[in-house]
Structure 1
Amino acid sequence: MSAFHLIASLVTVAAFLAWANYRFIHLPMTIGLMVLSLACSVLIVAAGHFGFAPIADLSLVIRAIDFDETVLDGMLGALLFAGALHLDLGRLIAHRGLVLALATGSVLLTTLIVGVVGHQLFTMIGLAIPLSWMLVFGALIAPTDPIAVGAILRRVGVPKELETVITGESLFNDGVGVVLFILLVELLGGEAITAAVVAKLIAVEVLGGLLYGAVLGYIVYRMLRAVDNYQVEILLTLAVVTGGYALAHSLHVSGPLAMVVAGLLIGNRGREFAMSETTRNRLDQFWELIDEFLNAVLFVLMGLEIVILDMEPGVPWAAAIAIPLVLLARLVSVAGPVALFPSGRRLPRGASLVLTWSGLRGGISVALALSLPESPFRDKLIMITYIIVCFSIIVQGLSVGRVTSRILARS
C-alpha cells in the first residue's frame, strides 16, 4: 500500500470515528477517538481469531506505518508548536523556575523511581527485566501529554496560573524526556557514558535546541513583520514546523524544544507586534484545525496499534503494578518543586494532586517504546507502556475534570 493510500485510510477512519463520537458518545474528541479505535481493534482481533476478519492483512497494513517515526519526526513538532502558540509567555516567565524544575527534575525523578522500584516489583512477580531496561522504561513513560486535558481543565475553571504550569511543563518535558531516553538507550548498547558525554549531549541537544528555536523564531518574527498577508504568514509558520524541524534533526539539536521556543516567540511577540487582527484570527483557526486533525489521526493510530501487539505472560500483572507506580512517582516528583518554589506556593492547595492526575501519558511514550532496540524485553515493555497510556487517556482523561473540581473545591 502506498503512502497516499495509508494516509487516506487513516484520515477516513478518523473522520468516521470523530463523527460517531460527536453524534452518539459525546466524549472529548481525542479520548472518544481513542476509545472507538480501541474498541474497533478489539473487535477485529476477536473476529480474526474466529476467521471472520482478515487479521493478517490488516496487521501488515498497520505494521507498514512507522509509528515512532510518524510521531517523533512528523507530528510532534507541529503539536508542540501549536500548543506553544497559545501559551502566555508572561505567565510562563513568572513560573519559569517551577516549570523548569518540573520539566527536568520531575522527569529525572520519575525515571529513577519507576526504574528502580519497578525493577524490584517486576522481579517479585517473576518478570525479570534488567535495571538498565527499566530505567529506559522510566524515561519513556515520564513525559506528560496535555492534548486531551487542556480544554477540560479550562471548562472546570482551573486558575490560569495552574493551567500555565501544567501546559508549560508538558511542552518542555517532552524534549527533556526524549534526550534522557536517547542517553539511556546508548547505555543499553554498551556505549561508554562519561560525564563529558552527558554534558555534551545536554549542551548540544537541550541548550542547542533552545538556542536554535530562539533564532528560528526571531528570524520568522522579522519576516512576519515585513508582510501583511495572512496566507504568506501562515505558510511561514508551516515552514517552521517542517523545514525548521528537519534542520534541527540535521543539526542534532532537540527539535521538540526548538518548536516550543519558536512557538512561544511567534505566538507572543509575533502575535503582538507582527500580525494584523485578520492574521491572528486566521492563524489561530488554522493551527487549531491542524492540532485537532493531527490529534485525531494520532489517537486513531494508537487505538489501532493493539492489532499488532502481543499480550505476553506476566504483562497484565506488570501493567497493573506499573499504573499506580507511575502515578505515585509523578506525585512524588511534582510535590517537591510545588512546595519549594515561591510560584508553586501561590498555586491553589492541592495543585500537586491536580498535576499528578492531569499528567496523562500519550503518543510520545508509545512512539519511544516502539523505537526500542530489539531484545527479549522490548515487546513486554511496549505492551506495558500501551496499557498505561490507555489507562491514562481513558480513565484519567475522562475523570480529570471531576477530580480537579473536587480538589479545588476542598482547597
Structure 2
Amino acid sequence: MSTHSTLLFVLAAVAVIVVVRWVATHTGLPSAALLPLIGIAYALLPGPNLGLDPDLVLMVVLPPLLYSAALDSSLLDLRRNLRIVVSLSVVLVLLTGVLVGLGFHLFVAGATLAAGIAVGAAIAPPDPVAALAVGRRVNLPPKMITIIQGEGLLNDATALTMLSVAVAAAVGGKFSFPAAVAQFVLAAAGGVAVGAAVAWAKRLARPLTADPLLSNAISLATPFLAYLLGEALHVSGVLAVVVAGLIVGHQTPELGSGASRLQTGAVWRLVDFFLEGFVFLLIGQQLPEVVQGLRQYDTATIVVAVAVSVGVVLLLRPAWLMLTQSLPRSLHTRLGGVSEQDDTGEPGSARQAARADRNADRLTPREVVALSWSGTRGVISLAAIFTLPLTTDSGAPFPDRDLLLFCTFVVVLVTLVGQGLTFAPLVRRLGLRANKSDQARVRNEARSAAVEAALARLDAVAADEPDSAPAVDATRTQLLGRLKRYRGRLDLIQQSGSADVPTSPEYETALRVRRAAIDAQREELLRWRDAGRLPDEELRVLERELDHEELLLPKRASS
C-alpha cells in the first residue's frame, strides 16, 4: 500500500471500530464478535488486504494489552483464586495442547505429534476480551471476572512456551521431555523475576510520576521494557509483562499524584480501545491467506483436523472444570495448605477469612457452566500459529503448516463469534450477577472509615497547630456532611435486605442538584469566554476543576 492508501485504510478502520462500539453499546452485542465478521466481509472484497505480522502482534500489540489488563486486576483477588486460575491457565493449556497433538497424530493422516502439539498450543489459551466485555455489561460477579481475567493474563506465557518447544521438536526432529520441563520452569521463573525487577525499577522512578506527562510516558514504556528484557534473557517476556503490571497496579494507589493516575487511566483505556479494535478486525482479514493453502488436502482430512481442534477446545474445558470441582473438599483444603485444625484455632474474623480463602476456588454448577463458555480465542492464537517456520532444519516444508493455520482460524472464529454472541444470554439465563447491594455497602463502609480517619487527623492537626482552628473547623464541617450521607446510604442498604441497591429520592435529588450547579458554572464560564472576559487558557483551567468535581459524583445514584 502507498502512504495515502495506508492512511485511508487506518481512518476507515477507526471509523468501523467507532461505529461497532456504538452498535455494541446500544444492542449489547460484543464488539469483539462483530469486528471479525466485518473483517471477513472486507477480506472477500477486491482490493488490498492487511496481513498479520506475528512479530508485530507479539512485540507491539500483546505487551500493552496484557499490561493494561494486569493494571486493572486485583493482586489480592488473584491470589485468593490462584488455584483455579493456575488450573486453567497452566494445567488446562498444557492438557489442551497435548490432547490436540495426540488427536492430530492419531486421526489426521500424515500429521506428526509435534505439529499437532504446536497447533494445540496456539489454540489453547483463551483471549478473555470478549468474555470480560460481556461479563461486565451483564454484571457478572467479581469472583468470575477475577478468574476469567487471571486466566487470560497467565495462559499466554504457558502456550507460547509450549509452542516454542513443539516447534523445536518439529523443526529439529528431537524432543526431550526433561529438557522441555526444565525450559518451561526456567522461562516461567525468569519471567516472574524480570517482571518483579521492572516493577521495582518503576517504583524507584516514583519522583518522576508526579508529572502526569512523565507518568504516562513511563507507564507506556513499562510493558515493552519488561517484554524485551525477558526475551533478551531468554525467559518469558509475556509473564514478565503480567507480573510487572500486577505489582505496579497493586502499588499505584500509593505512588504518584491523583492527576497522574487519572490521566494514565484515561490513556490506557484509549490504547485498549484501539488496539483491541484493530486486532479483531485483523482476525477476519486473514481468511484469504489461511484458505489459499488448503488445495493440497482432501476434504476428509480438513474436516477431521477441524473436528479435532474445535472438539478438544469446546469439550475439554467443561470436562476439566467439572473434574477439578468434583474433588473432595478436604483435598482442596490440603492443597491450599490450611487444615481444619487451623480453622478452629483462629479467632472469629480471622477464622472466617481463612474459610473464605479456602473456599474461594469452589465453583457452583452455574459458575462452571459460565466459565465453560467463556473460553473465547483471539488474535494471540493466530499470531502464535503464524510464527511457525516455513521449513524444517532439513529444508523440508514445515509439516501441515497450511492445515494448522486453517484449524486455528476456525477455532478462533467459532469461539469468538459463537461463544462471544451467546455468552450474555447464557449468563442471564443462569442468573449469575453481582450483588449490587453488597458492593454498595462495602463502598460506603470504606468511605465512612476514610472520613473518620480524616476527622481523627484533623484533631491531631488542631492540637499541634492552634492557629489552624478556622481551617480545621471548615474542613470538619465538610467531612461530617459526607459522613452523614454515607451512613444514611448504609442504613438504607441494610434496611432493604435486597440484592439490588435501594433508591433514595433524597439522595437522587441531591445528585441532580449538584450536577445542575456544575452545569450552571460551566455555562457561565462559557459566557465569559464568548464575551471576551475570560481567555481560553484560563477557561480550560477552571473547566478542568469542574470536570474533576463532576467526576467525583457517582454515575448512578446506587453508588
Shorter-chain TM-score tier: 0.7 to 0.9
Q: Are 2:191 and 1:209 aligned?
A: yes
The equivalent residue for 1:15 is 14
Distance change in 2, residues 1:344/1:382 (3 Å)? farther
Q: How far off is 1:345 after superposition?
A: 4.9
Q: 1:351 maps to which residue?
A: 367
1:172 corresponds to: 154
Name which one, 1 or 2, has greater alpha-carbon Rg.
2
Query: Higher mean Cα deviation, 190-199 or 326-335?
Result: 190-199
Please say if residues 103 and 170 of structure 1, whose CA atoms lie closer than 8 Å, have aligned partners that are also in contact: yes
Q: Which range moves more in the overlay, 182-191 or 303-312?
A: 303-312
CA separation of 1:70 and 1:13: change in aligned 2, threshold 3 A: farther
1: CA distance, partners of 2:325 / 2:199: 30
Corresponding residue of 1:303 = 284
- Residue equivalent to 1:33: 35
2:197, 2:224 → 1: CA distance?
16
Relative contact order higher in (CA < 8 Å, ≥ 6 apart): 1
Structure 1 counterpart of 2:96: 110
C-alpha distance in 1 between matches for 2:113 and 2:60: 31
Stretches of structure 2 that go unaligned for 5 or more consecutive residues are 333-357, 391-397, 434-559
In structure 1, what is the equivalent of residue 53 of structure 2?
67
2:428 is aligned to: 405
Structure 2 match to 1:324: 311
Question: Which residue in the other structure is 1:392 paired with?
Answer: 415
Contact (CA 8 Å) 2:57, 2:383: kept in 1 or not? yes
User: What is the identity, as a one-letter code, of the residue corresponding to 1:353?
Assistant: V
- Whether the 8 Å contact between 1:11 and 1:297 is mirrored in structure 2 is no
User: Percent same amino acid at aligned positions?
Assistant: 29
| Cα distance in 2 between the residues matched to 1:111 and 1:408 | 33
CA RMSD in angstroms, aligned pairs only: 2.4
Distance in structure 1 (CA, Å) of the matches to 2:313 and 2:411: 9
Matched, 1:91 2:114: no
1:84 CA drift (Å):
0.5
Q: Cα distance, 1:5 vs. partner?
A: 6.5
Tell me how far apart the structure 1 counterparts of residues 359 and 9 of structure 2 sit (CA, whole Å): 43
- 8 Å contact 1:118–1:325 — kept in the other structure? no
**Which residue is 2:384 aligned to?**
368
Contact preservation (8 Å) 1:114, 1:325: yes
Amino acid in the other structure paired with 2:20: N
Q: Is the 8 A contact 1:144 1:360 kept in 2?
A: yes
Find the counterpart in structure 1 of residue 403 from structure 2.
380
Q: Which position in structure 1 is the counterpart of 2:344?
A: none
Alpha-carbon shift at residue 351 of structure 1 (Å): 2.4
Is the CA contact (8 Å cut-off) linking 1:348 and 1:408 kept in structure 2? no
* In structure 1, distance between residues paired with 2:4 and 2:197: 37
- For each residue in 1:46-101, what CA deviation from the matched residue of structure 2 results, as whole angstroms up to 9, or x when unmatched? xxxxxxx34xxx2xx63xx4521121121111110011010011111111222122
Summarize the Cα distance change of 1:321–1:242 in structure 2 as closer, same or farther, 3 Å threshold: closer
Residue 23 and residue 160 in structure 1: after superposition, are their counterparts in 2 closer, same or farther (change >3 A)? closer
Hey, what's the Cα distance between the residues in 2 that align with 1:331 and 1:150? Answer: 18
CA deviations over 1:157-188 (Å, ceiling 9, x no partner): 22111210111011101111100111111111
Cα 1:247–1:151 change in 2 (3 A) is: same
Give the gaps of 5 or more residues in structure 1: 45-52
Question: Counterpart of 1:185?
Answer: 167
How far off is 1:403 after superposition? 1.3
Q: Which runs of 4+ in 1 moved over 6 A?
A: 4-7
1:127-162 deviation per Cα after TM superposition (whole angstroms, max 9, x unaligned): 442222212211111111011221211222221112
C-alpha separation in 1, matches of 2:77 and 2:96: 26
2:133 pairs with 151, 160, 169, which one? 151
Report the CA distance shift for 1:199/1:308 in structure 2 as closer, same or farther (over 3 A).
Answer: closer
Of 171-180 and 21-30, more deviation after overlay is shown by: 21-30
Letter in 2 for 1:405: R
Match of 1:82 in 2: 68
- Name 1:260's counterpart in structure 2: 242
Amino acid at match of 2:11: T
Which range moved further: 106-115 or 24-33?
A: 24-33
Name the residue aligned to 1:49.
none
1:201-240 pair list within 5 angstroms: 201-224=183-206, 227-240=209-222
Counterpart in the other structure of 1:47:
none
The SS at the match of 1:37 is: helix
Distance change (3 Å), C-alpha of 1:131 and 1:202: closer
Change in CA separation of 1:10 and 1:104 when aligned onto 2, cut-off 3 Å: farther
2:263 aligns to what? 282
Task: Flag the 1:337–1:169 CA change in 2: closer, same or farther, 3 A.
Answer: farther
Q: Which amino acid aligns with 2:187?
A: E
Amino acid aligned to 1:17: V
Aligned partner letter, 1:214: A
- Contact 1:14–1:33, Cα closer than 8 Å, also in 2: no
How many residue pairs get matched? Answer: 388
Task: Write the deviation string for residues 261-285 of structure 1: whole angstroms up to 9, x where unpaired.
Answer: 111111111x221032222221111
Paired letter, 1:347 = L
In structure 2, the CA distance between the partners of 1:352 and 1:36, relative to structure 1 (3 Å rule), is same
